[in-house]
């Protein structure tokens, strides 16, 4: 199996798991404050990762790898808070699409500089993947509810933050997958706790543990697969395929909640399958 095929395959598993995490987290956020759902998932997965690293007696990697992991985890959690704020400011469709596109575009641009130009087939797959991300995440906004410029700005900042996290995780993964995620989760949990102290939710603090733990566990597994994908293949391939995760959320919503995807989203999923096929060659 080629490195591109391995990275695309692992990225696809990561995307499916991340999509499941967002679906579960979305269900939980309907019943409890979203920040509490995320924070509980971070804390639980951190404890599990610490137990695994200690139980397997894994040697600590170099401090610079741990720094990359911690920076990625911390700024990724802050980016999530910014993203939630952007979504709460108005029509979500364009904001979410912009965030999703920049999440993939930042590592793609970085990889072009760091790893050089991809093959023509890989370049075509990356282009199709970026278009698929836009189609999948951009839903028609209510004409009466225009997207405020500040929401777009915050959405762009969140996308740059998420994309930067993917780049930082790429460098951190050289030191080992499990320790990378452990330090990322520790920094992420710290960021979420600080946010909760500064901006405590007004809703009652209850009913978030189960969905938070399940969503956090799925998110952690997806991140582990992403880290492994960056180890075996190009960063841009892993990042674009992993960034197709909204398709998993949409499919779960269709099967479980009977929420039908739009024609645009279906077209995006078809493009996503074509992109993965090209990236696997």
Residue 90 has a pLDDT of 61
What is the 3 state secondary structure string of 175-235?
HCHHHHHHHHHHHHHHHHHHHHHHCCCCCCCCCCHHHHHHHHHHHHHHHHHHHHHHHHCCH
Q: Residues 95-139: pLDDT tens digits?
A: 788 888 999 999 999 999 888 888 898 999 999 999 999 999 877
Cα-to-chain-centroid distance, residue 13:
13
- Average of pLDDT values for 222-241? 94
Say how far apart CA 95 and CA 103 lie, in whole Å: 12
**Contact between residue 159 and residue 98 where contact means Cβ atoms under 8 Å apart:** yes
Cα-to-chain-centroid distance, residue 10:
14
- Average of pLDDT values for 19-45? 89
- Average of pLDDT values for 74-95? 80
**Contact between residue 118 and residue 8 where contact means Cβ atoms under 8 Å apart:** no
**Contact between residue 219 and residue 45 where contact means Cβ atoms under 8 Å apart:** yes
Q: How far is CA 253 from CA 20, 227, 249, 257, 261, in A?
A: 10, 27, 6, 5, 9
For residue 144, is pLDDT > 50? no
Mean pLDDT score across all residues of the chain: 89
Residue 142 has a pLDDT of 52
Residue 14 has a pLDDT of 95
The three-class DSSP label of residue 162 is helix
Higher pLDDT, 209 or 144: 209
For residue 143, is pLDDT > 50? no
Highest-scoring range by mean pLDDT, 15-29, 63-77, 111-125, 129-143: 63-77
What residue ranges do the domains of the chain occupy?
3-280
- Average of pLDDT values for 244-259? 88
Residue 41 has a pLDDT of 93
């Amino acid at each position: 199996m080629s490195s591109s095929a391995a990275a695309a395959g692992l990225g696809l598993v990561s995307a499916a798991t991340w999509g499941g995490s967002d679906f579960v987290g979305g269900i939980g956020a309907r019943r409890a404050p979203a920040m509490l759902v995320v924070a509980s998932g971070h804390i639980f997965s951190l404890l599990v990762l610490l137990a695994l690293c200690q139980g397997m007696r894994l040697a600590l990697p170099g401090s610079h790898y741990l720094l990359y992991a911690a920076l990625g985890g911390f700024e990724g959690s802050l980016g999530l808070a910014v993203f939630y704020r952007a979504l709460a400011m108005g029509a979500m469709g364009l904001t979410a699409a912009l965030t999703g596109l920049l999440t993939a575009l930042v590592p793609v641009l970085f990889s072009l500089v760091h790893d050089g130009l991809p093959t023509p087939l890989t370049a075509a797959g990356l282009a199709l993947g970026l278009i698929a991300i836009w189609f999948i995440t951009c839903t028609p906004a209510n004409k009466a509810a225009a997207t405020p410029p500040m929401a777009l700005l915050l959405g762009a900042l969140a996308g740059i933050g998420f994309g930067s996290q993917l780049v930082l995780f790429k460098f951190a993964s050289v030191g080992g997958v499990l320790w990378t995620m452990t330090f990322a989760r520790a920094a992420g949990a710290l960021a979420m706790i600080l946010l909760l102290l500064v901006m405590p939710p007004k809703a009652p603090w209850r009913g978030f543990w189960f969905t938070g733990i399940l969503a956090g566990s799925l998110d952690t597994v997806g991140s582990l697969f992403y880290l492994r994908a960056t180890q075996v293949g190009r960063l841009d391939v892993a990042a674009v395929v992993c960034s197709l995760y909204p398709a998993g959320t949409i499919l779960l919503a269709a099967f479980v909640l009977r929420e039908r995807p739009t024609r645009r989203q279906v077209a995006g999923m078809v493009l996503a399958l074509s992109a993965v096929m090209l990236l696997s060659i």
